[in-house]
Amino acid sequence: METATKTKWNIDNAHSEVGFKVKHMMISTVKGAFEDFNASVETESDDFKNAKFNFTAKIDSINTKNNDRDTHLKSEDFFNTAAHPEMKFESKSFDGDKIIGDLTIKDVTKEVALDTDFNGVAVDPYGQTKAGFEITGKINRKDFGLTWNAVTEAGSIVVSDTINLVADLQFIKQ
């Protein structure tokens, strides 16, 4: 019985970004990113079908370009980074268009489906083989215990429940 050769790909942090967008007071959008993250892919084929994706991000590295907001997001009102320092994602399946897997935030694990554009494989000027992906999806933050909110005088909710995830990931073949 022949076993298929697995190829390992590690994240190229210099060419990758993990971000999110959320509506603020229902009139504007706040964007943020996790600056400290790691990811890898293990695959048996060049089209990455059924590849295994693993991802972790240090919540403490959240950056919304506003120190007060970032401090609030790290507090017990939201992520509680002291007790839950990282979030993680582990794929269960990838068909070329969707990655389905388990997302864990604050020790709550839920299955999520993320839309995926596999942008192909290329060799860079230094001879490294790279693969690129654009991954997007929506999650409900309340599903993961991120329940803090406030209401304005006019009755608007301050933070939307829907979080749009946006990840541009480039991997280097090992």
Q: Write the pLDDT tens digit of every residue in 35-93.
A: 999 999 999 988 899 999 999 999 999 999 999 999 999 999 999 999 999 999 999 99
- Check pLDDT > 80 for residue 154: no
* Residue 97 covered by a domain: yes
Look up the domain containing 88 and give its range: 7-173
Q: What is the pTM of this model?
A: 0.91
Confidence bin at 24 (pLDDT 50/70/90): confident
* Residue 2 covered by a domain: no
CATH number for the domain spanning 39: value is: 2.40.128.110
* Residue 133 covered by a domain: yes
Cβ pair 115, 137 in contact under 8 A: yes
Q: How far apart are CA 7 and CA 66, in angstroms?
A: 40
Confidence bin at 147 (pLDDT 50/70/90): confident
* Residue 23 covered by a domain: yes
The b-or-e profile of 13-27 (16+ CB within 10 A means b, else e) is beebebebbbbeeee
Confidence bin at 2 (pLDDT 50/70/90): low
Confidence bin at 3 (pLDDT 50/70/90): low
Q: What is the mean pLDDT of the chain?
A: 93
**Higher model confidence: residue 115 or residue 147?**
115
Confidence bin at 34 (pLDDT 50/70/90): very high
* Residue 1 covered by a domain: no
Distances (CA, A) of 171 to 55, 63, 116, 118, 165: 12, 23, 14, 11, 19
- Distant-in-sequence, close-in-space partners of 67: CB < 8 Å, separation ≥ 6: none
Q: How far apart are CA 59 and CA 81, in angstroms?
A: 6
- Check pLDDT > 80 for residue 10: yes
Q: How far apart are CA 122 and CA 87, in angstroms?
A: 30
% residues pLDDT > 90 (the chain): 82
Q: How far apart are CA 77 and CA 92, in angstroms?
A: 31
* Residue 147 covered by a domain: yes
- Check pLDDT > 70 for residue 1: no
When divided into structural domains, the chain yields a total of 1
* Residue 11 covered by a domain: yes
pLDDT tens-place string over residues 123-134: 999 999 999 999
- Distant-in-sequence, close-in-space partners of 157: CB < 8 Å, separation ≥ 6: 25, 26, 149, 150, 151
Cβ pair 103, 110 in contact under 8 A: yes
- Check pLDDT > 60 for residue 119: yes
